[in-house]
Each structure stands twice: as C-alpha cells, then as structure tokens.
Amino acid sequence: MKKPLLILTALGLCSAMMLSGCSGKAGTTSTNITQVKTTFRFITANSDAGSNKIFAEAVATLQKKYPNVTFTNDSSASGTYNDKIKLASVSGNPYNMIYTDDLGLAPLAENNDLLDLTPYIKKYNWINKQLPGTTNFYNQRYPNHEYTVGMNSAPLVVFYNKTIFKKLGLQVPTTLAQFENCMKVASANGYIGLEDAAQPQNLWLLESLVQNAVPLQDVINWYYLKSASPAFATAYENAGTLIKSWSDAGYFRKNYQGVNYGETPQLFGQGKSAMSFDGNWNLSTYQTTGVNFGMFPLPCNTTAGAPNYIINPVNAAWAISSKANPTQVAIGVDLINLMMSNSYAAQWETTGALPTYKMTSTAPTANQQTVDQLTAAIKKSKFGFYLDNAKPGILDLMTKELQIVLAGQETSKQMWNNVNAFWSQNY
Amino acid sequence: MKDRSKKQQIHGNYKSLPYAFVLPGMILFVLIVVLPVIQTFVLSLTDWDGISPLNLHSFVGFSNYTQAFTTPQLLTGLKNNILFAIVGVSIPIILGLAQASVIVNSKIKFKNLFQIILFLPQLLSSIVMSIMWLAIYDPVNGVLNNLLKMLGLGKMAVPWLGLSSTAIYAILIIGVWGGCGFNTLIYCSAIRAVDPAMFEAATIDGAGSLQKFWWITIPTIRKTTTTLLLFSLIGAFNQFDLVYQMTQGGPGYSTYVISYDIYESAFVGNRVGFACAVAIILAGLIFLVSRVFLHFREDE
Amino acid sequence: MKDKKTVFAYIFLIFSSFFTLFPLFFMLTVSFRSTADLIQNGALSWPKIWQFSNYTTAWQEANFSGYFGNSVFISTISILGVLFFATLISYGLAYFNFRGKKLVNSLILLGLIVPMQVIIIPLFFNYSAIGLLGTRVPVFITQIAVNIPFSVFLLRGFIKDIPYSIVESARMDGAKEFTVLWRIIVPIIIPVLVSLTVLIFMWTWNDFFTTNILINSDSLKTLPLGLSAFQTAHNTNIPLTSAASTMMMMPILIVYFIFQKQMIAGMTLGAVKE
C-alpha cells in the first residue's frame, strides 16, 4: 500500500505547486498576435441602469477613436465584482481596467497587478480637477505609488422625517448630544428614534463615532494597517458602549435585530420613524416613500461648530492592469479623461452618486434638488472612511462582534480585543 | 457460498480489459475528488491568500490548525454542527419512522398521497426554502410573528433570526422540516419489506401491535436505519446553504457552521491556507464519525 | 366504525402534512399579492386583489429562460456522464477481478464520505489554472465526478442480484464484454438507471453550493443561482421573490409527479438492499 500513497502525495505536491503557477505569472498576453484586433475588457462596481448608460456612452465615444478595438463591460450584480476581479487576476487573464473599491484594489496592488499611474496623473493634472483628497484617498496605502484615480463619493447621512420633527418641536441636531436628544424625544412620544437593522447601520454609527473621537492621523494609521493607538482602542470601545446604551434605551425599533437592511427605506416610509441612517445610494428609494424628509450629516462632534467627520469615502477608483498593452493603457487613460468632465459628472449625479469632479457648470439635472440638499447638508463635514474596508474579512468580524456586544453577550473591550487581534494578523 | 463460486468463475484471462471499464470513470474521480483532498491538505500548511504566488516561503506548518481551534468561528461552528448532528438527525429519523409506520400499518386510504406530500420538501432547492422561511420568520411582516400576535402571544414575537438564542434553532427547524420526508419514504419501503410471516407468528404468540413494532420491525430495519443515520450525519456536517442564504453566520457567530467558515475564510477573507485547514478538520470529523458508524454496522 | 388507531393515524398524518405544506402554500398565496397589500393587511390575510403580474414581472426581470437553459444543459450532461461512467465501473467491479480492485472499492466508499467543502477550494483554483472558469464545463465535470460513488453504490447492489449464469453463458458463447454489458446487463438494470437519472437530475438541478463557487457570470447561472441573485436584488419584495421561486420550483415538481414511482424505487433500492 506504500507505493500508491507515495504516488498520490507526489501528485499532490506537484499540483499544489501548479496552483502557484496560475497566479500572477501565467497568461502574459502576447502582444504580437493582438496588434490589429485588441480587446479592452473592463469591470466596474456599478451595475445599475444609470451607470450602465454612462459606461455605454463612454465606450461609444472611445469606439470612434479606436475602431479596431472590442470593448467589453463585465459589470455584474453587486457584491460579486471583487470576486470576478480576483478571479480574472488569478487565472492570468486580468481585466484591462477596473473601477472598484479599496477592498478590491488593495490585493491587486500588493501583487503588482496594477499600473503606476503617476506619470498620467501629473500629465493630465487629475489631482487638481477633483476635490482635494480624492486621488490620494486610496493611494495613501501605497507610499510612493499612485495606482488608482478616485471618482465619486458615497456619503452616509441621516434622513429625517420633517413632519415628526415639526410635531415634536425638534431642530436639526448639530452635536452628538442633540442627536441623542432627538432619538430620546421621538421614542418617548411613541415614534421610532432611529430606523435600524441587523446590519450595517450600527457598524456605520460606530465608525462615525470613532473617527470623530481621535486625531485623524490615528484613523489613517489604523485604516492603512500601520498602527493602532491606545486612543483609537478607547474610542472603539466607547462607541460600542454608547450604541448599546441607545439600543437598551429603546431608541431603535423593537426587534431591529431581525430586520433586513433592505427594508429600511420601506419601514421609514411607514411614517413612524423619526430618523434613518443610510447612504446616498438609497436617496431615490426614500423619495419614493412619499415621506417629507430632509437630510443632515450625523453629528459626532461634541461641541457645536467643531469639525465633523462623516463617512464619505471615495466610492470607487479607476485602475489599469500592469499587464495591459500600450493601446489598452492609452484607452484606459482616455476613459479617465472622459470621466473628468462636467457632462459626465452631471450624469453621475443623476445616478445618485456624488461627483468628486469639481463641476464648473450649473446646468440642473433631474435629481438636482435632492442632490443639492445632500451636498449642502454635508458641505461642512470632512471625508471619513468605511473602517471596515481596512482589510478583507474584517467587515464580517466587526459586524458580528458589534452584534454580540449589542446582545449583551460580551463587553466592548472584548469586542475591541477580537477586532484588534484580527487586524494585527499578517493575513 | 455463492460469492466464492462467483469469484472462481469470473477469474479469467481479461488482461487489460477490466481497466477499460473502470479507468475512465476512476481517473475522472481521482482528478476531481481525490487529488483536491491532497491539495487541500498541502495548502492547509501554507498561508496562501489565493492571489500572490505560492512558493516555499508560504509554508507555515500546522499554525493554521492551532489558530483555527482558538477562533470563535470554528468553535461555535463545531458546536452548531454537533447540534445539527444530534437534534437535526435524530428528530427526522424518529418522525420519519413514525410517519412511515403509520402510513404502512394503519388502515387509512390515500396512503400514496400522504407519502407524496410528505416528500415534497426534498424537491426544493435550498434557496427556495430560504426564501420561504425568511418570509415566515420576518419579524415585521412574517407569518410566524403575525400568527403569534393574532393568538395574543405578542410577547413571543421575537426576531427569530436576529437573536443569537433562537437563530440556530430557527434554522434547525427548517432542516428538520426539509429532511423528514426522505426518511419517511425510505422507511415506508423498508417496513413493507419486513416478512409478514414474522408478524403472523408474533400474533399467534399473542403480541400486541406496539410489541410487534418494537421487537420485530425495528430490529429488522436496522440496516436501513444505520444507512439513513450515516447519510443524515454527513449532511449535518455539510450544512452550508441555509446559513449562507439566511443569516450569514450571524447574529454574532451563533449560526456559524464549519462549512461557512471555510467559505468565508477562503473566498471573502482571502485566507486560503487557513480555510483549507478548517476543511481538513471537517474532513477528519466526518471520517471519524463514519468510521464509528460503519463499525456499528459491521457488528451485525 | 373506524377504530381509534385509524382516527389517530389520520389526525397524525393530516397534521404532519399541514406542517409540511404550509410554507409552500403560504409562498403560493404571497406570490399573488402586492407588497402594499402584504404590509397593510398582514401576512395571514387572504389576498383581496390577485396580482398575477408578479409572475410576468419576475419572468422578465429574472432572466428565467437563460437560467433554465443552463440548468437543463448542466443536468443533462451530468446525468449522461454519470450513467456512462458508473455503469462501466459497476460492471467492471461486478464481473472482473483485477489488480487494484480493492483500491477502487475503497476509493468509492471514501467518495461517499468526502464532502464538497473539502475539495472545492483547490478545485476552484485548478479550474482557473486550466482556464475553464468562464464556462459551464467545471460544473458538470464536478457533478459527474462527485455523483459517481453513490451511483456505483446503487448499481452495485442491484447488479449483485443478477444471476451470474446469464453472463456466464454469454461469455462461454464468446460474446465480447461490451456486448454483454450493452445487450444483457443494461436492459436488466434499466429501472435503477431510471431512478438514478431522476435522482441526479434532482440533485444537480437544485445544487447551490458548488455552482455558486464555480460560476460567476450572469449568463451562465443556473436556476438556484439566478434565484439567489434575484433575492438579493429584490429581498424586500416578498411577493415578487415568491413568484420567482414558485416558477423555478415548477420544473422539478413536474418531473417528480411524472417519475414518482421510479424515484421511490431507486432510493429504496439503495438504502434497503446494500
């Protein structure tokens, strides 16, 4: 029986080694054959109708300049885009251009799958065409390299029911204490203070609170996996404790732990909730509920007038594959240049995204009024992070640990210890 | 013995012909099933993330295993799998046996109809089941809570999938609901196959129907029971679909199962080496359980 | 006068049937309602308006025909592949002695126990290394390989009961082995083959885990995957998702009602005889 076992083990080792061949090295696109007929495959994190229209238009424009190129847009349902990107990269046939979030880009950059875009950023002056901090947002992770060009932001805001606020004599809160008071008064009068679900709003609340309780540099160090300061640890624990106190005080809907996040706008639409903490991507859904609502940034500052960081990260960024041939690189650069324009920024606005391009025209778009409201609302706030994008897998951990704290099954300190342990691992 | 004479007879000069029959399928099987098991084991000794190149530096020995056993995900997953293995296996078997014996032994009409109805859940894909039961368990619009409120039991209307104390049991119920029908079906045929002569003899001896059931039926269908138990046990350790579709391991880690930990670690967390270690632990568990089982079966 | 036992039997079985059917029945009624109706009047009320349009909307939105086609394709090829290989292997194990027979037997037994979760990770990377991941090929190859052990298990039990004299006389007449297999054995084992067909159809049709990992692009999705994506996109629209589920349930239900007897026969053969 020994011989078959040896053979099997040898086979196993060989094949395990074979797996290594399939990542990164193999599949170098031979540029000789593809000179006449090139393909340009790109993938984005957006698959809604509005975004598809924008991309189709961009492709049509580019097709005129590059008639021999076949363009494919592989964008798919939300959640699976990073899987596809990973897959393509691993199997040696990466996408020429990618538009996705930090979580999807980081592993590729670490594996040298992305082209350093510094020369183009300089040449076309992209940094100055966008709101300050946009281009740098993801690139802070890679000192001395600029792999990505950010575009559009996705802020989180508090939607509030104007009718209920008026009835209860509440003003738009500008400090944390005032915000808590709004919830308190609302729930004391039979309304739901804050529309909440099993996930992710509580984690967003925690992240907002943390980012306003420590110096920005501490947040940056934690987010880019450099260091975790004691102040950050304390802030994280305190945030957990605070949210638990809100849950215990009954500010959230009864049985919120079983509510599905997707139901939030609908439930807010029933008119019994004073506020709801949600993202700008749901703006149109809230509009269809028929509730007279307004928006304000979540005030996590403790003193009136102090800077308030809201989670408003750069939504996604463009990156070009390091294995793209010169034509494909040129197309990619052209695509980014196309997007950096008033017309495209205006189109992005209609899909509900907040353009980071510094728009100079004021032609109103369909969504203009609400988007204007949103922009005005968050004007004084500063860009913050989705802390759960720090590394793959940490979102699940942070969400679940917070759920355990809210259920009263562990202390906030234990939660921090578990999160920190995962964060510290080399994986 | 029939077997021995068969062996003598088929021992002919068939040089390489047998291999023509057996090899094609077996090669496919080895490539797709056996080889990956070995690969999983080898990978479990690395810290590969699925993206960067795999080389000798990736080897980290058994640290993935020691790490796995200290994480709440695996430990809770293990506990939940064992819960499934005990409760989620025994109840469907007992219910299945009860339903089958009632169908076979009683004088009711529509026996076939009942059999068909009870088997229906087996036909459903896990995703259909999860959609169905999500609508039932929904805390705001769901059937269960609405029913409880109607009956005046509003206090019991909790978020079934949102509380760590109830979530795993909520999923367990779905497992039992879905798994019963298979056992009922198999037991129906098994009970029908029991030699009626034994029953006649027992009746003559004055045995009541309950005694006949206990002393004749159950021992005779012992082989069926052990087969069903084996398949159910393996299924209990393989639970993935319902958890993935309904709770994603939450709330907290209360509905984690080992398979979900494997999926989450490998395909979301990019920790392929670690996931493989958990997979090998799962394989080891199943192997152990089956060995114990098959040992019981041999003792017949 | 019905005796107590029969009454009890009826009560027990009707009760069990009710619990079994209720979720299905509920889903059916919900699929004909509108979301507004559901929220306003609660989950248990009888629909006032019957919204049949849920089905047409779901059909259009869910790319049903595409998913259906993929499911049919994968299930059909899997069935053919399994029947082909398993029959060959069972015949070989039953009527030949050869070196390595014991190994084959052990591997088959092991194959019954190994769960998908243990092999899916390297399988995924193996397929991607060969470049097969953008196709449906990995799915049916995997389904075939994974279903071989159970099929051999089932067929072996059945073939054991065929009297050897039939094969013996054919062999003595100088018949080639493949002829014996095709003309003598296969006709006899047709009942088991039919049951196997239905079983494997059911398993491959409803499979979620394996297909979910091996298929990524929307155009290649099978019905369970399509329904899962549909649910993620419309998870608050319970009537719409219920309509989609009901539609996707139909094919397997229809097959079941047609082939009931064979399915039952096939499953009991394996569990009772072996």
Provide, as residue numbers in chain C, all residues whose Cβ is less than 8 Å from the Cβ of B35.
Answer: 122, 126
Query: C107 and C38, same structural domain?
Result: no
Closest-CA residue of A relative to B45 is: A16
Concatenated DSSP letters of A311-380: E--EEEEEEEBTT--HHHHHHHHHHHHHHSSHHHHHHHHHTT-B--B--------TTHHHHHHHHHHHTT
Mean pLDDT of A86-94: 77
Q: Order of strands, edge to edge, in the sheet holding A293-296?
A: A192-195, A273-279, A156-161, A293-296
Nearest to A150 by CA among A309, A41, A313: A313
Q: Which of A100-114, B212-226, C71-85 has the highest mean pLDDT?
A: C71-85
A366 in reach of chain B (CB within 8 A): no
Q: What percent of chain A lies above the pLDDT cut of 90?
A: 35
A290 in reach of chain C (CB within 8 A): no
Q: Does domain A156-311+383-424 have CATH number 3.40.190.10?
A: yes
**pLDDT at residue number A104:** 83
Chains touching chain C through at least 3 C-beta pairs below 8 angstroms are: A, B
Query: C221 and C97, same structural domain?
Result: yes
Provide, as residue numbers in chain A, all residues whose Cβ is less than 8 Å from the Cβ of C215.
Answer: none
**pLDDT at residue number A229:** 93
CB contact under 8 A, B185 and C252: no
Q: Same topology for domains A34-154+314-361 and A156-311+383-424, yes or no?
A: yes
Q: What is the CATH number of the domain that holds B176?
A: 1.10.3720.10
User: Does the pLDDT of residue A367 top 70, yes or no?
Assistant: no
pLDDT per residue over C153-185, tens digit each?
888 888 888 888 888 888 888 878 788 888 888
CB contact under 8 A, B140 and A9: no
Instruction: Specify the higher pLDDT residue, A187 or B226.
Output: A187
Specify the residue for token string 């239900």: C253
Domain membership of residue B55 (yes or no) is: yes
Query: C68 and C32, same structural domain?
Result: no
Which of C12, C205, C264 minimises the CB distance to B185? C264
**pLDDT at residue number A97:** 92
A188 in reach of chain C (CB within 8 A): no
Domain membership of residue C58 (yes or no) is: no
pLDDT per residue over A387-416, tens digit each?
888 888 899 899 999 999 999 999 999 999
Domain that holds residue C36: 4-53
Query: C147 and C261, same structural domain?
Result: yes
Q: What's the domain count of chain C? A: 2
Q: Which of A196-210, B97-111, B286-300, C254-268 has the highest mean pLDDT?
A: A196-210
**pLDDT at residue number A11:** 58
A259 CB-side CA count, 13 A: 20
The residues with which A114 forms a beta bridge, in sequence order, are: A321
pLDDT per residue over C180-233, tens digit each?
888 888 888 888 888 888 889 989 999 999 998 888 777 888 999 888 888 877
User: Does the pLDDT of residue A277 top 80, yes or no?
Assistant: yes
CB of A123 within 8 A of CB of A337?
no
Domain membership of residue B144 (yes or no) is: no
**pLDDT at residue number C189:** 86
Tokens of A204: 């967003």
Mean pLDDT of B83-93: 92
Q: What percent of chain B lies above the pLDDT cut of 70?
A: 94
Domain membership of residue B35 (yes or no) is: no
**pLDDT at residue number A30:** 39
Distances (CA, A) of B128 to A294, A315, B93, B181, C52: 39, 34, 23, 17, 20
User: Does the pLDDT of residue C267 top 70, yes or no?
Assistant: no
Query: C114 and C40, same structural domain?
Result: no
The answer for C 37-96 residues in CB contact with B (under 8 A) is 38-39, 42-44, 84-86, 88-89, 91-93, 95-96
User: Does the pLDDT of residue B259 top 70, yes or no?
Assistant: yes
Mean pLDDT of A66-73: 87
Domain membership of residue C30 (yes or no) is: yes
Mean pLDDT of C237-255: 87
pLDDT band at A362 (very low <50, low <70, confident <90, very high): low
Mean pLDDT of A257-265: 87
Domain that holds residue B96: 46-123+164-192+218-298
Query: C67 and C49, same structural domain?
Result: no
pLDDT per residue over B60-74, tens digit each?
888 899 989 988 889
**Lowest mean pLDDT segment, chosen from B81-95, C37-51, C71-85:** C37-51
C149 in reach of chain B (CB within 8 A): yes
**pLDDT at residue number C138:** 94
Chains touching chain B through at least 3 C-beta pairs below 8 angstroms are: A, C
Instruction: Specify the higher pLDDT residue, C146 or C39.
Output: C146
**pLDDT at residue number A364:** 56
**For residue B97, what are the contacts with CB-CB under 8 A and spacing of at least 6?**
B183, B187, B225
Query: C145 and C243, same structural domain?
Result: yes
Q: What's the domain count of chain B? A: 1
Mean pLDDT of B226-253: 88
Tokens of B73: 């995900």
**pLDDT at residue number C272:** 53
Q: A34-154+314-361 has which CATH code?
A: 3.40.190.10
User: Does the pLDDT of residue A31 top 50, yes or no?
Assistant: no
Query: C205 and C84, same structural domain?
Result: yes
Provide, as residue numbers in chain B, all residues whose Cβ is less than 8 Å from the Cβ of C260.
Answer: 116
Instruction: Specify the higher pLDDT residue, A415 or A313.
Output: A415
Query: C165 and C90, same structural domain?
Result: yes
Segments making up each domain of chain A, as ranges: 34-154+314-361, 156-311+383-424
Query: C141 and C94, same structural domain?
Result: yes
Q: What is the ipTM of this complex?
A: 0.85
The Cα B189–Cα A86 span in angstroms is 50
**pLDDT at residue number B299:** 62
A80 in reach of chain C (CB within 8 A): yes
